[in-house]
Chains A and B, each alone.
Chain A
Amino acid sequence: MNTKPTRTTLLGTTLASAVLGAVALTPATALAEKEQYVIDTEGAHAFVQFRIQHLGYSWLYGRFNDFGGEFTYDTDNPENSSIEVTIDTASLDSNHAERDKHLRGEDFFHVDEYPEARFVSTEIRGMGNGDGEFTIVGDLTLKGATKEIEIEAEEVGHGQDPWGGYRRGFQGTTEITLKDFNIDYDLGPASRTAELELAIEGIRQ
């Protein structure tokens, strides 16, 4: 490559030293890596489950088989981390064909109209205070409604995996009121809320 010798001007020198100076003066924390993770749905090391009371006599479990997302983890300031999960509502599975068909219909998730549910974190509280437990605040969009929810979460573990990668995993639960998300089919007084449980394992990119 044919490069012309750079003309050193006063302005150029000043700029260069200003930039260098800024870099040198920046505290180490800002340089700390904000790790990027992709949720390992490919290896199915992540789950989005729900449970709801049946008549008030027992718990019914179901899950969403197709979803995806990513999260960041700020090693120096964990509360600066974030997570985003998108769920394919039609992938709902409660192990019962007729019930699943009903749940995908207009009475519940209305998946033709609202094929996607989404959670985007807005704030993380209490992460990195040593006990591994924290709260993720964020917006859940489901069946056309967006509402702020709080997920009580804990860090399960992190480290090298046996295949040359690096993984980090969390577990979180939250409770949602069905009516808040335009689901007002009457399942009885014990079944007006549902619990969501997320088991998330991310692979560092």
Chain B
Amino acid sequence: MHWRNGTDSYGLAAIAFHWIVAAGVIGLFALGLWMVELTYYDPWYKTSLEWHKASGVLLFLVMVARLAWRLANPRPRPRGRPWERRAAEAAHLGLYLLIFAAMGAGYLISTAKGSPIDVFGLFSVPATLTGEGQEDIAGEIHEILAWTLIGLASIHALAAVKHAAIDRDGTLRRMLRPGP
């Protein structure tokens, strides 16, 4: 089994990280949209938010591990024309930044008044920055970042489909099948 990346292929770890984060980001986005519309007497009113926060913290830990793994591994070069490769690199950087920024903004909403974030009763993340009106400002930024992230991720996915259907250059396949 190829755990580590090659110069032109992704290892199993990188592939797992990619798809776990993809599922996490889409799941958190959907959960977020749904939970803010729930009425007060909905059985999910409280639980949905608790899960959103706790899952967000766990996904943050996954992202930190993913980043460390990425830095300790060869980075397969994007395929395609030079401008496509540059666009792909920029999009990947943008996705990383948006994920961390959205997580940071979300953290600042919940901890704005000094309350920690409980993670499924396992541990809790303490508050750091607090301030008057912080939950409102952080809330708006969180929403904007989440939509921007989903927008960029959609372009990223469309590009993968284009590589698979039009270019047929194996870009999508190497994110599905671990190689040497």
Contacts and interface: CB of A to CB of B under 8 A. Distances in A.
B41 A97 contact: no
Contacts of B133: 90
A95 B132 CA distance: 11
Given A90-B133, A96-B115, A101 B109 contact: yes
Contacts of A104: 136
Interface string B24-63: 0000000000000001110000000100000000000000
Interface in A4-39: none
Chain A interface category by residue count: 10 to 19
Given A96-B115, A98-B49, A101-B109, A186 B136 contact: no
B41 A186 contact: yes
B163 interface: no
B113 A96 contact: yes
Contact of A188 (B40, B109, B110, B132): B40
B39 A97 contact: no
B112 interface: yes
B139 A101 contact: yes
A186 B45 CA distance: 13
Contacts, number: 33
Interface string B109-143: 11111010000000000000000111110010000
Contact of B110 (A98, A185, A186): A98
A97 B137 CA distance: 12
B115 A97 contact: yes
Interface residues of B, number: 16
A100 B135 contact: yes
B136 to A, nearest CB: 6
B112 A97 contact: yes
Contacts of A90: 133, 136
Contacts of A145: none
A100 B136 CA distance: 9
Contacts of B111: 97
Interface string A33-67: 00000000000000000000000000000000100
Contacts of B113: 95-97, 100
Contacts of B109: 97-98, 101
Interface string A76-102: 000000000000001100011110110
Interface of A: 65, 90-91, 95-98, 100-101, 104, 185-188
Given A98-B109, A104-B136, 19 more contacts: A65-B132, A90-B136, A95-B113, A96-B113, A96-B115, A97-B109, A97-B111, A97-B112, A97-B113, A97-B115, A97-B134, A97-B135, A98-B49, A98-B135, A101-B135, A101-B139, A185-B40, A186-B40, A187-B40
